[in-house]
Amino acid sequence: MKIGLRIPGTARELPFDEFCRWCADNGFDAVDISSVTPEIVGTARDAGLAIGTSDMPGTGDLLSVDKSQQVAGAEAAKAAIQAAADNDVHLMFCVFSPADPTIGRAKAFDLWKETVPPIAEFAADRGVTISVEGYPGPSPHCPALGCTPETLRAMFAECPRGLGVNYDPSHLVRIGIDYIRMLNEFAAHVVHVHGKDTDFDQEALYLHGNLGPTFHASRGFGEDWWRYTIPGDGVVDWLQVVRRLEDAGFDGIVSVELEDYRYWKTWEAESDGLKRSRDYLAQYVR
């Protein structure tokens, strides 16, 4: 296994070659990118970094009720997959969240099974896997697919090729799903991992439950009673996670996804959060 990262907020403003050198100099082995071009891939590899995932566009359009949007989404997704294959990049990152969050997950799945399996086949034929993150989508609808074992089972039943799991325990924890049991069930499908954690504020839960605060705004990256945090500062047992991944033969990348309001808004803060995350994960990721 290797430790990589997704590019956080202000780091996106840095020259990419400078950021890649910083990553390599600070113990990171891989970087997740937003799109594939020969220049981007070459810059990362020249710095000694592997490419973790590249973002797959068009997913919202694929889950639209508008057929023209579905076509546009399919074209965008296939173009990105082809670019990845042409540059020896093998994982596409995505969240399957419908363009209209009010349609609900059942309707979203009906659309998904019409539009996505052919794209997954297209990817598989080119040696590319679509890595699905289990982010549930924005409240109150939480419309995204793949965030629960229920929907993942249905997705893999429809799409046995070209689809994998981007395992992120932070999302599972905050919606009340046993993240180890889920890993046990889907370990063979895990192709990428996000290094992120979730913490719960018991005082906030007492004051307003899971309804959120009445008199002030929630802190960033959460809903006050819960928040995303760097690995090791939340409730996830990363030793157990890594051991289970090893048992399943996973030898991919654990990418730090920095979403912690304490390490945000400035490059100084973000770089501190990234290094703290790396140091914690390096205890277990070998």
Q: Is the pLDDT of residue 286 over 90?
A: no
Alpha helices in the chain (DSSP H): 16-25, 38-46, 59-62, 67-86, 104-124, 149-158, 169-174, 179-186, 202-208, 238-247, 267-281
What is the four-CA torsion angle of 203, 205, 209, 215, rounded to 10 degrees? 50
Confidence of residue 177 (pLDDT cuts 50, 70, 90): very high
2-199+229-281 placed in CATH 3.30.1240.10: no
Torsion sign, CA atoms 141, 173, 273, 96: negative
Read out DSSP for 179-204? HHHHHHHHGGGEEEEEE-EEEE-HHH
Q: Mean of the pLDDT values across residues 260-277?
A: 98
Q: Mean of the pLDDT values across residues 186-192?
A: 99
Confidence of residue 219 (pLDDT cuts 50, 70, 90): confident
- Hunting for tokens 């403003």 — which residue is that? 13
Of 97, 157, 166, which is closest to residue 130 (Cα–Cα)?
166
Of 98, 92, 100, which is closest to residue 133 (Cα–Cα)?
92
The Cα diameter of the chain in Å comes to 54
Q: Mean of the pLDDT values across residues 235-261?
A: 98
Q: What is the pLDDT of residue 218?
A: 87
